Amino acid sequence: MNDPINVLTLFLFNIVLINIPLLYGTVGEIVVEKAGSLDLGVEGTMAVGAIFGYLAGCAANSMAVGLLVAFLAAGLCGLLFALLTVSFQANQNVTGLTITTFGLGLYFFVGKGMGERWPAMAGSSALMDGFAALEIPLLSKIPVLGKVFFSQNLLVYLGIAIAALAWWYLNFTKTGLRLRAVGENPGAADSVGVNILLYKYVHLIAGSGIMGLGGFYMALNMSGSFEGSNCWINGYGWIAIALVIFANWNPVLAILGTLVFGFFNTLQIYAGALAGAFPGGLGWLNTVPAQLFKALPFIITAIVLIASSVHKREGSGQPAALGLNYFREER
């Protein structure tokens, strides 16, 4: 039970299991930001995707329905954001924050309204099976790493696949490159015939939909138990916004970033166990306040933000027109 290698393996395993929703949120936000829009509504969008995806998944007893509804419900938040900021030229910061307020309000309103009718995840065999660990043949037999990376559930692999796909899309496809042009200089993209409106709408909806999948993941990881005081998303949406910066707007680096942020996030849970298993090397972990681990993702991101503005690097992935509305008549 207290075998040090077991504790370490479980710790590493949980870094991946607990934090993959961050990856979904981050990749979704990268897609949105590459279109030049800063959506601060990640937390609310994930919450909306989570609750509707979970309820639909339970009602239909189907993983696919849950994923689809989570994507669509969160996509609607993206549509709302696009409608207000792209078509109606509303301020992006204010609109995004309002989506968070609204989304969390809706989450609790729906959840509390369900009351006794709230479905238990145990009642849905499809969700239970769909979220169970999948052991990849051979690879899962590797000591430590097999458990950590190759005995995870389906949604972990899906998240990593989406991140890789987004990276390929943004770097190697014509539409992906055009999208980046929209985020860098919409006026120039417009003048060569890129349909700005269409690009923004599609990617804002798709990016938000990906965030919603992350919300659905969190619902399943919390075994679908609804609490009146704490939202499932629990601040992951805000960390995702930070991770976008840390990953320099690169979906593949976001996988790495998720593991780095996830390391601290999980350390606060496992600090005691690790200190117990390795009293010589890691005993000091017990003396570090848990709040420092919680704050670390934000501290690191603040430092990255400041450092990257002090040294204006060449390769910064931040879209030049991020947060600015595009008004065609003022080209």
Partner 1 sequence: MKNRQPLFHVVKRESGSPGRQALAYVAAVALALAVGAVLLAVQGVEPLTFYKQMLTMGIPGSRYPWRAVENFIKLFVPLLIVSLALALAFKMRFWNIGGEGQFIMGAFWAGVAAMKLGETLPRPAMVLVMAVAGALGGGVYGLFAAALKVRFGTNETLLTLMLNYIALYFLQFFAETKAGWNFFLDPQSARPKFAKFPASAQMITIPIGPFNLNLSLVIALALCALIFAYLNYTKRGYEIAVVGDSPNTARYAGMKVGKIVLRTIFLSAALIGMAGAFHVSSAGVMSASPTNDVGWTGIVVAWLAKLNTAGILVAALLITVLQFGCQTASTTYPAIDANFANLLQGVILFIVLAADFFTRFKLVRRKEAAK
Q: State which residue, 63 or 74, has the beta carbon closest to partner 1.
A: 74
φ, ψ of residue 14 in degrees (nearest 5): -70, -25
Distance between CA 40 and CA 239 in Å, rounded? 11
Q: What letter represents residue 50's amino acid? A: A
Among 5, 59, 64, 112, binds partner 1 (CB under 8 A): 112
Residue 130: enclosing H or E segment and its boundaries? helix 125-130
Q: What letter represents residue 141's amino acid? A: K
Q: Is 286 in the site for partner 1 (CB under 8 A)?
A: no
Segment interacting with partner 1 (CB under 8 A) among 6-14, 109-117, 161-169, 183-191: 109-117
Asked if 49 and 68 count as a contact pair (C-beta separation under 8 A), the reply is: no
Q: Is 59 in the site for partner 1 (CB under 8 A)?
A: no
Q: State which residue, 95 or 258, has the beta carbon closest to partner 1.
A: 95
Among 10, 35, 69, 99, binds partner 1 (CB under 8 A): 99
Residue 308: enclosing H or E segment and its boundaries? helix 290-310
Q: State which residue, 25 or 130, has the beta carbon closest to partner 1.
A: 25
Q: Is 106 in the site for partner 1 (CB under 8 A)?
A: yes
Smallest distance from partner 1 to CB 173, Å: 25
Q: Is 191 in the site for partner 1 (CB under 8 A)?
A: no
Q: Is 287 in the site for partner 1 (CB under 8 A)?
A: no
Q: How far is CA 181 from the centre of its chain?
A: 24
Asked if 247 and 30 count as a contact pair (C-beta separation under 8 A), the reply is: yes
Site mask for partner 1 (CB under 8 A), range 201-240, x = bound: ----------------------------------x--x--
Determine the angle formed by the axes of helices 174-184 and 4-34, rounding to 10 degrees: 70
Nearest to 170 by CA among 80, 252, 104: 252
* Number of separate helices (H) and strands (E) present in the chain: 14, 0
Distance between CA 288 and CA 272 in Å, rounded? 10
Smallest distance from partner 1 to CB 27, Å: 18
Distance between CA 16 and CA 3 in Å, rounded? 21
Residue 246, SS3? helix
Q: Is 263 in the site for partner 1 (CB under 8 A)?
A: no
Among 59, 198, 306, 320, binds partner 1 (CB under 8 A): 306
Q: Is 89 in the site for partner 1 (CB under 8 A)?
A: yes
Q: Is 292 in the site for partner 1 (CB under 8 A)?
A: yes
Q: Is 104 in the site for partner 1 (CB under 8 A)?
A: yes
Interface with partner 1 by CB under 8 A: which residues?
A: 38, 40, 80, 83-84, 87-91, 93-95, 97-109, 112-113, 115, 235, 238, 241-242, 245, 289-292, 294-295, 298-299, 301-302, 305-306, 309-310, 323, 327-329
